Chains A and B, each alone.
Chain A
Amino acid sequence: MLFTPTVIKNLLKKPATRLYPFTVREPFPNYRGELYIDIDACIFCGTCARKCPSQCIEVDKEQGLWSCDPHACVYCGICRDTCPTKCLHMKDVHRKPMTERIMMVEKGEPPKPKKKAAEAAPKAEAEPKADDADKGESKKADAKKK
Chain B
Amino acid sequence: MDTLILVIIGLVAGPVIGGLVAGLDRRVTAWFQSRQGPPIMQSFYDVAKLLGKEKMVVNQWQILCAWVYLIAAAVSVGLFFAQGDLLVIFFVQAVGAVFLVMGAMSAKSPFSQVGAQRELMQILAYEPVLILVFVGIYLVTGSFSISAVWELEQPLLAKMPLLYLALGYALTIKLRKSPFDFSTSHHGHQELVKGVLTEYSGPYLALVEIAHWYETVLILGLCALFWSTNVFWMAALLLGTYALEILVDNTMARMTWRWMLKRVWLLGMGMSVVNLIWLYAG
Bound state CA distance, A3 and B35, in angstroms? Answer: 16
- Give the interface residue-count category, chain A: 10 to 19
**Chain A, Cβ-Cβ closest to B251:** A3
**Per-position binary interface string of chain B over residues 244-258, scored 1 when its CB falls under 8 Å from any chain A CB and 0 otherwise:** 000110111000000
Bound state CA distance, A3 and B36, in angstroms? Answer: 19
Bound state CA distance, A15 and B33, in angstroms? Answer: 8
Centre residue among A1, A7, A15, A19 by max chain B CB count within 10 A: A7
What is the total of A-B residue contacts with beta carbons within 8 Å? 34
Q: Does A4 contact B (CB under 8 A)?
A: yes
Which B residues, 71 to 108, have Cβ-Cβ distances below 8 Å to chain A?
none
Q: A17 contacts which of B36, B247, B251 (Cβ < 8 Å)?
A: B36
Residues in chain B near residue A4, CB distance under 8 A = 247, 251
Q: Does A10 contact B (CB under 8 A)?
A: yes
Q: Does A120 contact B (CB under 8 A)?
A: no
Q: Report the minimum CB–CB distance from B172 to chain A (whole Å).
A: 13
Q: Does A24 contact B (CB under 8 A)?
A: no
Q: Does A13 contact B (CB under 8 A)?
A: yes
Do B252 and A17 have beta carbons less than 8 Å apart? no
Q: Report the minimum CB–CB distance from B37 to chain A (whole Å).
A: 8
Residues in chain A near residue B31, CB distance under 8 A = 10-11, 15
Q: Does A16 contact B (CB under 8 A)?
A: yes
B positions within 8 Å CB-CB of A? 28, 30-37, 247-248, 250-252
A positions within 8 Å CB-CB of B? 1-4, 7, 10-11, 13, 15-17, 19
Q: Which 10 A-B pairs have the closest CB atoms?
A: A10-B34, A17-B36, A3-B251, A7-B32, A16-B34, A15-B36, A1-B251, A11-B31, A7-B250, A4-B251
7 contacts between A and B (CB under 8 A): A1-B251, A10-B31, A13-B34, A15-B30, A15-B36, A17-B36, A19-B36
